[in-house]
């Protein structure tokens, strides 16, 4: 799997009434952090747990994407990838997709469509997740299910294309390696599959 230089920066938002009240321990969030570090070579720069309240969800996403996370010596770092876990199902309090959609500048449903198709071989229940995906500023935002298994399997299903997605969102990809394109930036991406975006 391709790894980017500089590494992908990630924030993880857990959406859970019970976790936010301290009634249960968040396991999905830490599990996703481990996947990002171990399999994407990413740097996790921020985590947070909020209740299933649209205002809390949108505030966290907006703050991270638009203001960044305070890093060393008070410099602020904006995440390349904002992952949420929880609140994507059909329960009355599951409002993460609606809250996320309200702050997106550009929707990108195809990423989670791909994840659902790939996860379908494991369980058809993957199609019960209503997660949204899209961008705000230079951050890619992906809603994942709240369970450890559901969130890790869904993220794992798209890990192979996330580096290229992030690289494109950063503005690093200008020449995509097509034979009929003359490189102008020195940054040429070679696609080894039959298609490209």
- pLDDT tens readout for residues 23-56: 999 999 999 999 999 999 999 999 999 999 999 9
Domain presence at residue 191: no
CATH number of the domain where residue 160 is located: 3.40.980.10
In the chain, how many domains are there?
1
Q: Which two tokens stand for residue 19?
A: 């976790």
Domain presence at residue 79: yes
pLDDT of residue 75: 77
Q: Which two tokens stand for residue 139?
A: 């951050």
Residue 131 to residue 114: CA distance in whole angstroms: 12
Domain presence at residue 2: no
Domain presence at residue 51: yes
Domain presence at residue 76: yes
pLDDT of residue 21: 95
pLDDT tens by residue, 48-94:
999 999 999 999 999 999 999 987 666 789 999 999 999 999 999 99
pLDDT of residue 180: 60
The reported pTM is 0.88
Domain presence at residue 185: no
Query: Across the chain, what does the average pLDDT equal?
Result: 90
Domain presence at residue 156: yes
Residues 6+ apart with CB under 8 A from 124: none
Q: Which 8-state DSSP code applies to residue 83?
A: E
Whether pLDDT at 185 is above 70: no
Range of the domain at 78: 9-170
Q: Nearest to residue 167, comparing CAs of 148, 133, 190? A: 190
Helix (H) or strand (E) holding 124: none
Domain presence at residue 122: yes
Residues in the chain, overall count: 197
């Amino acid at each position: 799997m391709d790894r980017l230089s500089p590494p992908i920066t990630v924030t993880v938002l857990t959406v859970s009434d019970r976790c936010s009240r301290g009634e249960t321990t968040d396991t999905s969030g830490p599990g996703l952090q481990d996947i990002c570090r171990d399999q994407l070579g990413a740097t996790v720069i921020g985590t947070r747990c909020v209740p299933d309240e649209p205002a809390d969800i949108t505030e966290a996403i907006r703050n991270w994407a638009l203001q960044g996370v305070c890093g060393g010596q008070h410099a602020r770092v904006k995440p390349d990838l904002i992952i949420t876990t929880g609140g994507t199902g059909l329960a009355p309090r599951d409002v993460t997709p609606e809250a996320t959609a309200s702050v997106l500048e550009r929707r990108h449903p195809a990423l989670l469509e791909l994840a659902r198709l790939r996860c379908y071989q494991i369980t058809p229940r993957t199609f019960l997740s209503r997660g949204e995906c899209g961008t705000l500023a230079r951050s890619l935002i992906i809603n994942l299910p709240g369970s450890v298994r559901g969130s890790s399997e869904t993220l794992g299903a798209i890990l192979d294309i996330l580096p290229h997605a992030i690289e494109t969102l950063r503005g690093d990809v200008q020449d995509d390696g097509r034979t009929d394109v003359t490189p102008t930036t020195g940054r040429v991406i070679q696609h080894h599959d039959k298609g490209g975006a």
